[in-house]
Amino acid sequence: MDRRESLKLLALALSATAPGVLTAAGCRWTASDAERAARESEEARARGDFSLQFFTDEEYETVRILSDMIIPADDRSGSATDVGVPEFMDFIVTDMPDMPDMQDPMRQGLVWLDSWSREQFGASFAACSDSERVDLVDAIAWPEDADPALQDGVNFFNLFRDLTASGFWTTEAGMADLGYMGNVFVAEWTGAPKSEIERLGLSEAPWETL
C-alpha cells in the first residue's frame, strides 16, 4: 500500500470514529479549523494576494517539496501543492492562537530536517536529489522502524504529515478523492463497501480494529 492510500485510510477511519476530526490520532485541530484555513488560503490564492505569514521563503520551498512527497499527483487528483496545501499550512500554523506549541515544533522540525540532510548528503533538503530526499523521509516516516536517535525527526514528520492530510482532504479535490458526499442523510451505516476493503488489501475496515 502506498503512502497516499495509507493516509486515505487514516482520514476515513478518523471521520468514522471521531466526528469532526480529520487526521490521525494526536492532531489538535478539528474539521472546522481545517476547513476555515483551507477556505481562507484558497480565497487568497484566487485573489492572487497570498503572502507568507509564518514560513520563510527557504522553509516554504521545503514545505512544498515535502508535502508533494507525501501526496503526489496521480490519476485521481493533483498533488498537495496543486490544491494549495502549503498555503493552508502557513494559515493554520499562523492562525491557531489556542495552540501556541505548534509553531516551534514546525520551525524546529524544518531546521532539524535541513541539518540532518546536510549531515547525510552535504546539502539542504531542498537541494538534495529526489532519491536522497526519499532516503531521508523513509528514515523518519515509519515510527516503528525508525532509529531512536531520529525521534525528533519522527515527531516532526508526524506533525507535518497530519497537516498535509488535513489540508489536502478539506479541498474539493481531496473530498472527491475520499468519495465524501457531504451532508447526506444515511438511514443505516453498514460499513465500508467490501469491494473497497478488498481493493486496499485489508481483511476488515480500519475502524473495526480501533
Residue 165 near residue 23, CB atoms below 8 Å: yes
pLDDT recorded at residue 117: 97
Mapped onto helix, strand or coil, the DSSP state of residue 122 is coil
> How far apart, in whole angstroms, are the C-alpha atoms of residue 8 and residue 169?
9
User: How far from chain centre, in Å, is Cα 124?
Assistant: 21
Q: Considering only residues 135 and 177, tell me which one the structure prediction assigns the higher pLDDT.
A: 135
Question: In sequence order, which residues have a C-beta less than 8 Å from that of residue 20 and are 6 or more positions away?
Answer: 30, 31, 32
Q: Considering only residues 45 and 8, tell me which one the structure prediction assigns the higher pLDDT.
A: 45
**Alpha helices by DSSP H, the chain:** 3-17, 31-47, 57-70, 85-94, 103-121, 130-141, 151-168, 172-178, 194-199
Grid cell of 139 as nine digits: 528514515
Q: Which residue type, as a one-letter code, is found at position 75?
A: D
Q: How confident is the model at residue 89 (pLDDT cuts 50, 70, 90)?
A: confident
Instruction: Please state at what angle helix 31-47 crosses helix 151-168, rounded to 10 degrees.
Output: 70
Q: What does each C-alpha distance from 140 to 5, 145, 149, 206 come to in angstroms?
A: 18, 8, 10, 23
Q: How confident is the model at residue 76 (pLDDT cuts 50, 70, 90)?
A: confident
Question: In sequence order, which residues have a C-beta less than 8 Å from that of residue 33 and are 6 or more positions away?
Answer: 92, 96
Q: Considering only residues 68 and 75, tell me which one the structure prediction assigns the higher pLDDT.
A: 68
Distance, first Cα to last Cα, the chain: 19
pLDDT tens figures, 94-117? 876 555 567 888 999 999 999 999
